[in-house]
Every structure is written in C-alpha cells, then in structure tokens.
Amino acid sequence: MLRRIITAVIVIPLAVVIIAFAVANRQWVTVSFDPFSSANPAYAASLPLFALIFAVLILGVIVGGIASWLGQAKWRRAVRRLEGEVHALHDELAAQRRQFVERQASVPSESLPAIVP
C-alpha cells in the first residue's frame, strides 16, 4: 500500500512535467545528418522538438547502459571464476567427508576411547 502511494507521488508529477514539456515543445524541427551540405542534405528528418529530445534521451540511456555493462565485464568474469572455485571446494569437502565416514565405519567401536561426561 505504501509503495503504491510513493509510486503515485513520484510518477504523477513526473508524467505532468513530461506532458507539459511535450506540449510546450511541439514545434517541428529539421534534423540534418549530412555534415557537408546544410542547404541540401542527403538525409534530413522533420519531427517535433520533444520527440527529438526524447529520442536523444532514450539513446543516451541505452548507450550508458551498454557502457556500464561492458565496464563491469571484469567483475562478472571474476565472479564466474570464483564460483567455479567454490564449487570445486564444495566437491573436495564432500569427498573428504565421505572418506571420513568410511574410515569411521571401518574402525571397530571398542577401539574408540570412551567419552566420559
């Protein structure tokens, strides 16, 4: 319940700001992708200014996410290596426990020292 209230307190004002931004910036702009000819570009797109800003923002988030993911590759590699070591140590410990149980089973109980409380 509290989570819904907090979400509403954050999302509703954010949505109002985004809608107000889109309404205030609905002028059409021409974006040219030709750096050599601004008068007659090879490829140009006309779109509302808010759409251009949102597209650039989304592209920035995607590029930043990819850069972050690539930057963390060494940590993911270290985790995989350490997980392999942990599994190997667990297997070794299980083998040692089995050996211990087999040795205890082969020793006669009368040869074991008595434990006095």
- pLDDT tens string 96-109: 999 999 998 887 76
CB 86, CB 66: distance < 8 Å:
no
pLDDT band per the 50, 70, 90 thresholds, residue 116: low
- pTM of the predicted structure, to 2 decimals: 0.61
115 pLDDT higher than 80: no
SS3 letters for 22-74? HHHCCCEEEEECCCCCCCCCCCEEEEEHHHHHHHHHHHHHHHHHHHHHHHCHH
CB 27, CB 49: distance < 8 Å:
yes
Q: What is the pLDDT of residue 62?
A: 97
In this prediction, what percent of the chain has a pLDDT beyond 70? 91
- pLDDT tens string 28-70: 998 888 888 878 888 888 999 999 999 999 999 999 999 999 9
Task: Give residue limits of the domains in the chain.
Answer: 2-71, 74-104
